[in-house]
Structure 1
Amino acid sequence: MARPFLLVALLCASLTFITTCVALHLELTHVDAKEGCTVGERLRRATERTRRRRLASSSMAGGVTAPVHWAGTSSPQYIAEYLIGEPPQRAEAIIDTGSNLIWTQCSTCHLSRVTSCFPQNFPLYDPSLSSTARAVACSDAACALGSETQPCNNTSSSSSNNTPCVVLTSYGAGEIAGVLGTETFTFGSSNEVSPLAFGCIAATKLTPGSLNNASGLIGLGRGKLSLVSQLGATNFSYCLTPYLSDATVNTSHLFVGSPAGPMGEAPVTSVPFVESPSDDPFNTFYFLPLTGISVGQVKLDVPTAAFDLRQVSPGMWAGTFIDSGSPFTSLVDVAYQALRSELARQLGASVIVPLPNDADVESELCVASGDASLVPPLVLHFGGGGDAVVPPENYWAPVDTDTACMVVYSSGGPNTTLPSNETTVIGNYMQQNTHLLYDLANGVLSFQPADCSSM
């Protein structure tokens, strides 16, 4: 699949990878802010995205402001608008802590005979129109920074200096391919970041609607090609407004390099990150030391080891991580079954079987909307830190005017394989109206309840 892209270059020059250190502030909005979507449509498509995300795991003080919105019904995500190149060209990207690569679809898409690129809101980025576009050769050091890229087989060959660095990577929704380049990115009106290494994507094979007309992704993971790493940032934070709020008015916020501090008097829970596996040179995920879950005052009878970071097969790791790119939370099956049973016990006669037209979220546990106030909060217990309280509205959703259902799923579905079926993922729906501060210098994640729309 990579062969056609060896013929595609951004420009003839190769550029050594450069790390910058800049503070960014991006405004985020839901992708479906531009669409008229029912609650059921939003939740159904969020469920589809969550399922695709699970399958992906088995393959494994200054500031800038950029408008960001919710990616919408087919891919409920948080999206940033930005400018790329000189003169600038508009683009949009999903904000994703569960991946590293920054990428956008390019005008070279039409050169591919494998598959065409997906529709997007803005014209395809055209590197030939930009004076700041540069190609990265397969012999360049930047080409060896991530698992998404393909370095030269023989870097001593003089011809390798003119051979583009191939980008080829997989997601739950499919695959993308192209070449690595560097380019000037502008977030907001006066916050230029130059240069950033990114994937200029020439072909995609993604599930239709996966990015809901966004142009690509901005990875915020631990890897060296992520936005966070390229900026040399030691911290970042974000605050996500609820899915079902007025996303056209209530924007979310992402701070990179200069995160906002704690807001108001709400309690802050700080949790140490779990150290990534030593044999994973391209580590991505922000693993957390989850030790247990309580439903109201009742702690679930689930062994701590079910949440631990552990090797499940050669080169494959399972554990618990937080992910802004996954809509709903998925629990390792033993925890999911315990959660469902305890909620059913506490809710008792309030539990109902949803009607067929209420099956958008495919939940096994629902109540009438009038009984939604009976749903208890969850408490996530972390080792080395404290407890994070999850209010009912962050794991329970209205399917329609009559029914509300749980939107937490089992990671052990029939089509999942190692390691995703043994992994717990804390999705962005559970992160709503929570200010999350990633202190990378000290290896700590902090949670604080917040009104994200007023940040």
Structure 2
Amino acid sequence: MAASSLLSLMFLISTLLLASSSLSVAPNPTTFTIPLSAIFTKNQPSDPIKTLNSLASSSLTRAHHLKHPKTKPPLTKTKVFSHSYGGYSISLNFGTPPQTISFILDTGSSPIWFPCTSQYICIDCHIDPSKIPLFIPKLSSSSKFIDCQNPNCARISSSNPSSKLCQGCNCSQACPYSFQYGIGSTLGLLLSETLDFPEKLFTNFLVGCSIISTQQPAGIAGFGRTPESLPSQLGLSKFSYYLISQRFNDTSESSDLTLYRGSSSDAKTPDLSYTPFRKNPVLNDSTFREFYYVDLRKVIVGSKSVNIPYKYLVPENNTNGSGGTIVDSGTTFTIMATPIFDAVATTFEAEMGNFSRASAAAEAFIGLNLCYNITGLKFEKIKFPKLTFEFMGGAKMELLVVNYFLPVDFGNSSFVCLTIMTDIILDLVEPAIILGNTQQQNFYVEFDLKNNRFGFRRQSCNKK
């Protein structure tokens, strides 16, 4: 679709601009709890290898976007299967009366947007358009589109390509935006709405009314560190979640996302190990300002500490800020720069000496970088080397085997594959390590924004 057509469609929709109504506000709450579910599409394919390959490809593409956020992702080369997003969703209520919309929980981005208006178009989404929940502004008395002269428009537009959409045209009626993601993109108009929790109404909440998306059948709730994120707009002191252990198949199980608002003490949550958030690298264009950096100091495989050059573990304050580790709920598998991954893989190979490595062809077909043949053996009976991430301050994340090894049946053979990946094209700029949601499963994690620290403890999250 041509850019002129997109703009024409956006300004047609901007005529839906409605006046805000007065709203009553409930007493200030301290916490909100939202059900958190693994995301799956309809019509799941029966081939688990295709699904796994898709998840691996999506993780790499997502990592490429996080490292190169101003580079348009290779959308045409990204395969999306309707088996699973490999992500997690929450439901939020927007509007008056409220409309319930599903969002992907994403700590690697900041904007919040939903599929919007009856004109919404989703390209390459592999889902029946009638199955996509839409927000309809004309059904809400609190909907109000933001015009280009509003300071909020400049704040959103200055950090993404949407700023160019206002050049050379009349943008007095609505503020356009364009957000890029690892596995897609979205374009729409900035909206002021009411976010409706049972305990409190949040008026004048900035949210994107997306009218065209690519490979994005659901909205995204950005939990990043910049002012337009959900935590920033709600004034959260911290938020926490725990992720169910999913095997990339459909499930009705869910866990909780908890939002903490207002003042909070410096006291640590019982049984949590903490490491401080690292100050984001100072770059010329503040490209990576929304990420949650942590200081990963050691990767331990079995009893051996992997030899990782220090320069990869600490981001540098230069123009591209290479190095460092971020925590991202939107990436499925952890991504490591090649020198780090090679060192980790070499240590695993030494510890897994009794097992034969899968062929390069098998690994390429599966989509993961390190697999072993376990044909004839039961995954649950195998004693695997432990994997531990040690952070600044001594906090150790001791992973369960299901957090880093995945059983895969391929033809007449059975394999286990490491759900940590690398790609040489991702090594040029930061971050060097992206801690994905597979490695966060079965952990209770806390983003303490007030005290600037990341906490975690191992916790069984599945209810059955």
**Which TM bucket (shorter chain)?**
0.7 to 0.9
Q: Render the CA deviation track for 1:95-123: whole Å, top value 9, x for unaligned.
A: 0000001111212646x8xx858445334
CA contact (8 A) 2:41 2:84 kept: no
1:367 Cα deviation after fit: 3.6
Alignment partner of 1:244: what SS? coil
Deviation per residue, 1:353-405 (Å, 9 max, x gap): 16849933433322416374232111112123422212221011111383221
- 2:301 is equivalent to residue 295 of structure 1: yes
Match of 2:440 in 1: 431
Q: Is the 8 A contact 1:271 1:382 kept in 2?
A: yes
* Residue number in structure 2 paired with 1:328: 333
Distance, in Å, in 2 between the alignment partners of 1:288 and 1:100 is: 18
**Structure 1 counterpart of 2:421:** 409
Assess if the C-alpha contact under 8 Å between 2:94 and 2:195 holds in 1: yes
Letter in 2 for 1:244: R
Rounded to whole Å, the distance in 1 between the matches of 2:253 and 2:102 is: 18
Q: Does 1:269 align with 2:273?
A: yes
Distance 1:30 1:344, change over 3 A: same
Q: Residue by residue, what CA displacement relative to the aligned partner does 1:229-276 show, whole Å, maximum 9, x if unpaired?
A: 1100010000000012886343121111269x9888xx5321000012
User: How much has 1:73 moved relative to structure 2?
Assistant: 3.0
Whether contact under 8 Å (1:289, 1:307) holds in the other structure is yes
Distance, in Å, in 2 between the alignment partners of 1:344 and 1:360 is 19
Aligned counterparts of 2:432 and 2:19: Cα–Cα separation in 1: 40
After TM superposition, the structure 1 stretch with the greater mean CA deviation from structure 2, 278-287 or 22-31, is 278-287
Aligned equivalents of 1:337, 1:315: Cα separation in 2: 23
Name the counterpart of 1:78.
88
Please tell me whether residue 180 in structure 1 is matched to residue 190 in structure 2. Answer: yes
Q: Using the TM superposition, give the Cα deviation of residue 331 of structure 1 relative to its aligned residue in structure 2, in angstroms.
A: 1.0
1:383 aligns with 2:387: no
- Write the mapping of 1:221-236 to structure 2, written as runs, cut at 5 A: 221-236=224-239
Cα deviations by residue, 1:180-234 (Å, 9 ceiling, x for unpaired) = 10122345x666443421111122234xxxx4x4x21000010111111110001
C-alpha separation in 2, matches of 1:448 and 1:186: 31
User: 1:286, 1:322 within 8 Å by CA — same for their partners in 2?
Assistant: yes
> Which amino acid counterpart does residue 180 of structure 2 have in structure 1?
S
Summarize deviations over 1:41-98 as a string: whole Å, max 9, x none.
Answer: 54333212202102212431xxxxxxxxxx9734210011233322333321110000
Q: Which residue, out of 11, 29, 32, partners 2:37?
A: 29
Q: Which moved more, 1:316-325 or 1:439-448?
A: 316-325
Change (3 A) 1:332 1:92: same
Closer, same or farther in 2 for the Cα pair 1:360/1:96, shift >3 Å? same
Q: Does 1:138 align with 2:148?
A: yes
For residues 33 and 190 of structure 1, what CA distance do their matches in structure 2 show?
31
Residue range with higher mean Cα deviation, 175-184 or 239-248? 239-248
1:323 touches 1:427 (CA, 8 Å); kept in 2? Answer: yes
State whether structure 2 residue 186 is matched by structure 1 residue 165: no
Q: What is the correspondence of 1:280-291 to structure 2 with a 5 Å cutoff?
A: 280=286, 283-291=289-297
Q: Secondary structure at the match of 2:352?
A: helix
Pick closer, same or farther for the CA change 1:153–1:453 going to 2, 3 Å: closer
**Partner Cα distance (2:387, 2:87) in 1:** 23
The question of whether the paired residues in 1 share the 8 Å contact of 2:18 and 2:141 is answered with: no
- Does structure 2 conserve the Cα–Cα contact (< 8 Å) formed by 1:10 and 1:133? no
Match of 1:345, SS state, is: helix
Note if 1:51 corresponds to 2:60: yes
Partners of 1:350 and 1:417 in 2: CA distance: 29
Q: TM-score, normalised by structure 2?
A: 0.80
- Does the Cα contact within 8 Å between 1:116 and 1:204 map onto a contact in 2? yes
Higher alpha-carbon deviation: 81-90 or 356-365? 356-365
1:24 touches 1:256 (CA, 8 Å); kept in 2? yes
RMSD over equivalenced CA pairs, Å: 3.6
Query: Which residue identity does 1:327 align to in structure 2?
Result: T
Alpha carbons 1:292, 1:304 under 8 Å: kept: no
SS at match of 1:47: helix
Structure 1 gaps of 5+ residues are 61-70
**Is the aligned partner of 1:93 residue 2:103?**
yes
* Alpha carbons 2:163, 2:177 under 8 Å: kept: no
Distance 1:9 1:108, change over 3 A: farther
Tell me, yes or no, if the aligned pair for 2:241 and 2:257 is still in contact at 8 Å.
yes
Q: Which runs of 5+ in 2 are unaligned?
A: 21-25, 70-80
Partner of residue 356, structure 2: 351
CA apart distance, 1:308: 1.1
Cα displacement string for residues 14-38 of structure 1 (whole angstroms, at most 9, x for unaligned residues): 88xxxx9763211111123866565
- Deviation at residue 321 of structure 1 after TM alignment: 0.2
Q: Does 1:342 align with 2:350?
A: no
Counterpart residue number, 1:66 = none
Q: Distance in 2 between matches of 1:11 and 1:236?
A: 34
Select between 321-330 and 302-311 the one with higher mean Cα deviation.
Answer: 302-311
Letter aligned with residue 275 of structure 2: V
* Maintained 8 Å contact 2:192/2:205: yes
Alignment match, 1:65: none
SS at match of 1:436: strand
Cα pair distance change 1:141/1:335, threshold 3 Å = same
| Alpha-carbon distance in 2 for matches of 1:80, 1:310 | 35
Aligned partners of 2:14 and 2:145 also within 8 Å: yes
Q: Which residue of 2 aligns with 1:248?
A: 251
Greater shift in the superposed pair: 78-87 or 351-360? 351-360
Q: What is the percent sequence identity of the aligned residues? A: 24
Cα separation, 2, equivalents of 1:243 and 1:286: 24
SS in 2 for 1:198: strand
Task: Give the total of aligned pairs.
Answer: 422
